[in-house]
Structure 1
Amino acid sequence: MKHWGKPYQPREKLSHSGPNSLNDAELLSIIIRTGSQGENSLELSKKLLTHFGSITSILNSTLDDFKNFKGIGISKWTQLRATHELVRRSQLEQLHMQDVFSSIDMVKSFLINTIGHKDHEVFMCLYLDIHNRLLHSEEIFRGSINQTAIYIREVAKACLLRNCSNLIVAHNHPSGHLTPSKEDLAVTKTLAKSLALIEVHLLDHCIVSKNGAISMLELAILPNQASEH
């Protein structure tokens, strides 16, 4: 891109007009810095976006996923992974400092970046204080949920250990489908009732995939704890 006029180079464009002035391919080209023989970094970035479909998919990809792209080796891949981790940690910092319900989209974005691209199902807990600020987050279950009683007990035990007042749970659907299953709804209802007995409020259950996330609270399908007593 050296033969371009400077105002048209992504780095110069960002410097003069800010990051919002750049499209996805231009921002990506700044991260990967160089292209391969016969194409510059912007052309390579456009090719990556076309193949993977989104920036999120690119940032979550394994090194093996880039095997068909000349010019993307371990150096560029580690740059992409580092960028992804910085974004995730920035979101985590914000969740620690503010009421998570000031931005449900932030919660969903954090969950997508944390568990959305996993190829196996995991169950995650976000433990919150009385002001709905994040105390701690962790994956506490991996694989299919087939023993609900043990699953409920483990969540309750973890809540007591973290001394949390409120809880958001989430799990991913590796298939990409975001529609809650009957089992998802049943487990959520049982979990809400059980946690209420130890004075922990289940505030939301999110379902996540690499394509996005849904919130049972936003969909108005989260069990109403008050009506269960």
Structure 2
Amino acid sequence: MKSPTNPPSTVRDATVPPVAYRQPPIRQWAANDRPRERLYAHGAAALSDAELLAVLIGNGTAGCDAVATGRALLSRAGSLGRLLAEPDHLPPVPGIGPVKRARLVAALELARRALGEGLTDLPRIESPRDSAQYLQARLSHLSHEVFACLFLDTRHRVLAYEELFRGTIDGASVYPREVVRACLRHHASAVILAHNHPSGVPEPSRADRDITQVLVDALALMDIRVLDHIVVGRGEPVSMAERGLLLARSR
């Protein structure tokens, strides 16, 4: 049904004044409702994602407190995981200027690096589960496909993590020569390959299996072992090593 070209003016009862409700600023909230005070009293785990962001943001704008700004940021990003995955691409939100943006990017990047410290603290990578959580945190929420590597020494300790290739929503081109070059640059004796499926389904495709075999063979020529290729989506990542899909051909 089409709207009329000239709709009649809205008639309002002159005896009822318009009511404009505005959330009071956080400093006027009860002490046990303020995010910072709740963090002090109960610990960070007691706060919601929006409240934790509010503590980082510090203050909101007129009519929009820091908690509401945090909710808007989460809504624009789609999830907290998306913020963690791409902290350098925070969505534009009113009230988040250059200073607050820099503060949030720094905090989110620290969170990502903290995940990586858990890997470097391990005596060695002994199973797909040792690296899967970190790789999932780095890759699972990206809207485009990324191919990455964990570079390991002779004892399978983590030397570095690097994202080598970025693609589109349904694929990324992987160049074996560049993977070999990156392994040599990091003085790696072994490597764990990883990439994400933005569709959310972590099942390895035929193309995934083919490029994995090419990389296994190419890196074997340099005496560099491919320990695994982990495919990240929603839910549990898939280990191609556990599937028996890493078979080096005899030379």
- Identify the TM-score tier after normalising by the shorter chain: 0.7 to 0.9
Larger Rg: 2
- Distance in structure 2 (CA, Å) of the matches to 1:132 and 1:2: 51
Deviation at 1:183, TM superposition (A): 0.8
Aligned match of 1:50: 75
Q: Any gaps of 5 or more consecutive residues in structure 2?
A: 1-25
Aligned match of 2:238: 215
Deviation at 1:145, TM superposition (A): 5.7
Alpha-carbon contact 2:146-2:172 (below 8 Å) kept: no
Equivalent residue in structure 2 for 1:65, among 91, 94, 99:
91
Displacement over 6 Å in runs of 4+: none
Deviation at 1:224, TM superposition (A): 3.8
**Alignment TM-score, normalising by the size of structure 1:** 0.77
Aligned match of 2:213: 189
Aligned match of 1:128: 152
Alpha-carbon contact 2:148-2:162 (below 8 Å) kept: yes
Deviation at 1:122, TM superposition (A): 4.2
Equivalent residue in structure 2 for 1:37, among 62, 80, 84:
62
Q: CA RMSD in A?
A: 3.1
**Alignment TM-score, normalising by the size of structure 2:** 0.71
Deviation at 1:222, TM superposition (A): 5.1
Secondary structure of 1:183 counterpart? helix
- Distance in structure 2 (CA, Å) of the matches to 1:61 and 1:162: 25
**Partner deviation per Cα, 1:45-96 (whole Å, 9 max, x = no partner):** 2233234331132353666731xx3212222221111111111222233322
- Give the number of the structure whose residues are more often helix, by fraction: 1
In the superposition, relative to structure 1, how do residues 136 and 183 fare at CA in structure 2: closer, same or farther (>3 Å)? same
Kindly indicate whether residue 177 of structure 2 is the aligned counterpart of residue 153 of structure 1: yes
Deviation at 1:186, TM superposition (A): 1.0
Equivalent residue in structure 1 for 2:120, among 96, 102, 105:
96
- Aligned residue identity for 1:81: V
The number of aligned residues is 218
In the superposition, relative to structure 1, how do residues 34 and 189 fare at CA in structure 2: closer, same or farther (>3 Å)? same
- Distance in structure 1 (CA, Å) of the matches to 2:246 and 2:230: 16
Larger CA deviation: 195-204 vs 15-24: 195-204
- Aligned residue identity for 1:225: L
- Aligned residue identity for 2:148: M
Aligned match of 1:225: 247
Deviation at 1:156, TM superposition (A): 3.0
Q: Any gaps of 5 or more consecutive residues in structure 1?
A: none
Alpha-carbon contact 1:188-1:222 (below 8 Å) kept: no
- Distance in structure 1 (CA, Å) of the matches to 2:105 and 2:116: 16
Alpha-carbon contact 1:204-1:222 (below 8 Å) kept: no
Alpha-carbon contact 1:127-1:162 (below 8 Å) kept: yes
